[in-house]
Amino acid sequence: MTSEWGFSILDFGFAIERTTGDGQLTTASLSFHVARFTLCVLFIVGLGCVQAGDAPKPGETVTNSVGMRLAYIPAGEADMGSPGDEKGREDDEALHRVKLAKPFRIGVTEVTQAQWKAVMGQRRGEFEGDNLPVESVSWKDAVAFCEKLSKTEGKTYRLPTEAEWEYACRAGSAGRFSAADKLTDAAWYDDNGEEKTHPVAAKKPNAWGLYDMHGNVAEWCGDYYAPKYPAQAATDPTGPAEGTGRVVRGGSWSSFERGCRCASRSNVNQAHQMKTIGFRVVMELP
Ligand SMILES: [Ca+2]
């Protein structure tokens, strides 16, 4: 029996081969295995890079079944409330640290009349226009919208907690307003609101791409209103277990500047349907 030795290129490595007289390749190569190992390493490293790249950036959006864009809000910590020297502050804004342990998504805009109709089947609002924020909805109406949308999509939609709302509104900032130095660039309010709502997303967004967190319609939150915040730092606070009114945030087209501050809070009977109050939704992440 004769045999021949030679080299060949296999993928990324060389193989040493021995061919016997009858033409059969009888010696597998170590380098072939090295090449396969290398490919595996490259694949795993690549997969890791893809997975790292999958974590959304703050403000990155998805669009749901009714065309609502929802921005990714990262977990984190921030001060909630206002410092004692903030212009226009009220006594119910004691500054305290809040941690939000889980990321979530929140509507880039207030819920529009078109989105309301798509979910609930009929239009709602004192003012009329598909791209206007829905208003004249009670707290329970807003909760019903969230529940119906959750059922339709098999996801969990709900009103933001007051802490989630302020954290998202601030988007990493600590001033009176988050979206612009001049409120008129960021909001429809008493000075420029002309006593009506305006199409959503017409003013400057904040750093996480959220529009009209200041003004246009004020926004229902899930919490009962408490006149005092907890004295200590809190994680994922949800407000008191009971109360006489619900928290409303952000001010509206009829609010003075001070009522549109990030830290400003309102206490409203949950049954009230007001043309100054609408809402935006949170979508929970798994
Ligand atoms: Ca608003």
Co-location of 164 and 245 in the same domain: yes
CA of 232 to the centre of ligand 1 (A): 28
268: three-class secondary structure by DSSP: strand
Ligand 1 mean position, distance from CA 50 (Å): 36
CA–centroid distance, residue 223 to ligand 1 (Å): 17
Q: Is 69 helix (H, G, I), strand (E, B) or coil?
A: strand
H-only helix segments in the chain: 30-54, 113-120, 139-153, 162-170, 183-186
Mean pLDDT, to the nearest integer, of 237-257? 97
Tell me the average pLDDT of the chain: 87
Tokens of 73: 């809000």
Residue with tokens 């660039």: 185
Helix, strand, coil abundance in the chain, percent, nearest 5: 25, 25, 55
- Summarize pLDDT for 116-145 with one digit per residue, the tens: 999 999 999 999 999 999 999 999 999 999
CB 12 within 8 A of CB 38: yes
Asked if 271 and 182 sit in the same domain, the reply is yes
What's the pLDDT at 14?
37
Domains held by the chain: number: 2
Distance 145 CA to ligand 1 centre (A): 17
Expressed in angstroms and rounded, the spacing between residue 9 Cα and the centre of ligand 1 is 65
Domain holding 25, by residue range, is: 3-53
Same domain for 105 and 27: no
Per-residue pLDDT at 53: 56
3-state class (DSSP) for residue 44: helix
Instruction: Average the pLDDT over 102-122 and give the result.
Output: 98
How large a percentage of the chain has pLDDT more than 70? 81
Q: How far is the CA of 264 from the centre of ligand 1 (A)?
A: 12
Least confident of 16-20, 185-189, 234-238, 263-267: 16-20
> Does 20 lie in the same domain as 119?
no
Phi, psi of 162 (to 5 degrees): -60, -40
Q: Are residues 222 and 266 in the same domain?
A: yes
* Predicted pLDDT at 180: 87
Ligand 1 midpoint to CA 219 (Å): 6
> pTM of the full predicted structure?
0.82
How many residues does the structure list for the chain? 286
> Which tens digit of pLDDT belongs to each residue from 148-160?
999 999 999 999 9
Token pair in block for residue 164: 């989630």
Burial code of 87-118, b = ≥16 C-beta within 10 A, e = fewer? eebeebbeeeebebeeebbbbbbbbbbbbbbb
Same domain, 45 and 75: no
- Confidence check: pLDDT of 210 > 90: yes
**CATH number of residue 151's parent domain:** 3.90.1580.10
Per the CB < 8 A criterion, the answer to whether 281 and 111 are in contact is: yes
Q: Which residues, other chains included, contact 112 with Cβ-Cβ below 8 Å and sequence gap of 6+?
A: 130, 131, 132, 133, 134, 200
CA separation for the pair 174, 152 (Å, rounded): 37
Q: Rounded CA gap, 278 and 217, in Å?
A: 6
129 and 271, same domain (yes or no): yes
pLDDT in tens, 30-87: 343 434 444 434 444 444 444 445 779 999 999 999 999 999 999 999 999 999 999 9
From the CA of 19, how far away is ligand 1's center (Å)?
78
Q: Mark whether 92 and 224 lie in a shared domain.
A: yes
CA distances from 84 to 66, 96, 97, 128, 265 (A): 42, 12, 15, 40, 15
Ligand 1 centroid vs 109 CA: distance in angstroms?
Answer: 8
CA–centroid distance, residue 151 to ligand 1 (Å)? 25
CA–centroid distance, residue 200 to ligand 1 (Å): 9
Q: How far is the CA of 279 from the centre of ligand 1 (A)?
A: 7
Residues 49 and 87 in one domain: no
Residue 128 Cα to ligand 1 midpoint, Å, equals 17
82 in the same domain as 28: no
Question: What's the mean pLDDT in 265-280?
Answer: 98
More confident call, 141 vs 230: 141
Same structural domain, 211 and 185? yes
Domain identity same for 202 and 102: yes
Q: At residue 18, does pLDDT exceed 90?
A: no
**Residue 215 alpha carbon to ligand 1 centre in Å:** 5
